[in-house]
Amino acid sequence: MTGDTLHREYVLTDSFFESIDSPVLDKGNVTARVDVRRLSHDFELTIDCDGVAVVPCDRCLDDVPVSIHTHEVLLAKLGDGDGDDDGIIWVDSPDGVLNVAWHLFESIALALPCKRVHPDGQCNEEMAARLHGYEAGGDGGGDGEGTGRKGTDPRWDALKELLNNNK
């Protein structure tokens, strides 16, 4: 039966992400399409995910929606092979059943950007003020004046100047 393709579509909602129990991602609404094509002795899985994942903002910790679009092709083989092969999934022969839940989650998690922040001006204002207070050398009170230190190490001041030049 070479060439036969099985099509499945899953709608991954908050309950799916919560069941994975990952600190990276616990909310979202993503449509995942999985096509399984039988090759001579193996199976080719094509996974396409489109939707929105909701993650904490790196600046203010409020939820920020992130658009997700992924495309991944994996090869599934029956047997007890080494699980470290890139792009190859080994399926235990007696069962012959592959649960794709973890592969769907992994595909979505890997599509998340490294920097997860709201667009400028959309962060939680209270948290942004606290962050600004810490950046200005304060105690996080938001006034930027700093209450904990009388003077600073000149080496840190020089490094801070380098940081400020990059803005």
Query: Residues with Cβ < 8 Å from 102, sequence gap 6 or more?
Result: 20
Q: To which H or E segment does residue 5 belong?
A: strand 5-12
Confidence at residue 133, expressed as pLDDT on a 0 to 100 scale:
76
Confidence at residue 136, expressed as pLDDT on a 0 to 100 scale:
60
- The residues with which 66 forms a beta bridge, in sequence order, are 53
Token reading at 15:
């309950």
Whether 158 is covered by a domain: the verdict is no
Token reading at 119:
């667009």
CB neighbourhood size of 39 (10 A)? 12
Considering its fold, how many domains does the chain have in total? 2
Residues in the chain: 167
Whether 50 is covered by a domain: the verdict is yes
Confidence at residue 85, expressed as pLDDT on a 0 to 100 scale:
66
Q: pLDDT per position in the chain (167 positions), as tens? A: 445 889 999 999 999 999 998 888 889 999 999 999 988 888 899 999 999 999 999 888 899 999 999 999 999 888 777 655 677 888 876 667 888 899 999 999 999 999 998 888 888 888 877 877 777 665 555 444 444 455 677 888 888 888 777 65
Domain shared by 13 and 43, yes or no:
yes
CA distances 105 to 32, 60, 157, Å, are 10, 25, 43
Task: Measure the CA–CA gap between 166 and 104, rounded to whole angstroms.
Answer: 38
Domain shared by 97 and 127, yes or no:
no
Q: Which domain holds residue 141?
A: 121-147
Token reading at 85:
């092969």
Whether 160 is covered by a domain: the verdict is no
